Structure 1
């Protein structure tokens, strides 16, 4: 699974679960426009760490912000938690390892962390192969 696939799945999940609320990726700035409404999402970090020669850990952290701090629906934290707890990527469910709702600052946000372990699969090559031995006909030279 790639970071792009995960980001797309989060956008799709938010759009599906909040059909009447605008959902947008965060632009490069950290401060949204003062008149903005809806939900923005952004990737905070992505890491790939090697545990062993064939095992890796992928860690992704996302920030989901509700832009209208003066009008936060009472059920928003629970609805975001329910929507993002398990997301579907190409038929495979991925469960968040941590979800946190923070209200520090002017706009509340939810931090969502997804961690996956992956194993590098190498091509299987047979350890031994059979050799075929055929008798070769040798013609004796006539003298």
Structure 2
């Protein structure tokens, strides 16, 4: 699974659970203006760690923000938990390993983490075949 697929799945989940609220990717500016409405999302971290030669752990962290910190619905944290606890990525369900509602500089945000284990499928090697050996006798030429 790619980072873009996971990010798209998060945007789709938010759009389904909040159909009347604008959902958009976060810009570099984390400050919000008084006329901002809606929810933003952004990837905070992506990490690939090797466990063994053929097994990897992918970890992703996302930040979800409500744009108007002065008008936060009381049910927003619960609704975000419900929307993001399990997401569908191209037919496969992924469950969040951590969901955390916190405040940063008096601005509330939801942190969501997803962790997946993947296995590298090695190419199938050609099976061993029987080796035929023929011996030939060499005759010395007489001089």
In the superposition, the TM-score normalised over structure 1's length comes to 0.87
Give the drift of 1:130.
4.2
Distance, in Å, in 2 between the alignment partners of 1:93 and 1:65 is 23
2:90 aligned residue: 90
Aligned residue pairs: how many?
134
Give the drift of 1:128.
1.2
Give the drift of 1:125.
1.7
Structure 2's unaligned 5+ residue stretches are 134-143
Distance, in Å, in 2 between the alignment partners of 1:58 and 1:125 is 27
Distance, in Å, in 2 between the alignment partners of 1:64 and 1:84 is 10
Distance, in Å, in 1 between the alignment partners of 2:127 and 2:31 is 58
Q: What secondary structure, in the 3-state scheme, does the structure 1 residue paired with 2:16 have?
A: helix
Structure 1's unaligned 5+ residue stretches are 134-143
2:107 aligned residue: 107
Give the drift of 1:127.
3.5
Give the drift of 1:30.
2.5
CA offsets per residue over residues 53-88 of structure 1, 9 Å max, x none?
111110000000011111111111000001100000
RMSD: 1.7
In the superposition, the TM-score normalised over structure 2's length comes to 0.87
* Matched-pair contact (CA < 8 Å) for 2:101–2:111: yes
Distance, in Å, in 1 between the alignment partners of 2:2 and 2:38 is 26
Distance, in Å, in 2 between the alignment partners of 1:78 and 1:132 is 71
Distance, in Å, in 2 between the alignment partners of 1:115 and 1:28 is 25
* Matched-pair contact (CA < 8 Å) for 2:32–2:68: no
Q: Which runs of 4+ in 1 moved over 6 A?
A: none
Distance, in Å, in 1 between the alignment partners of 2:99 and 2:76 is 13
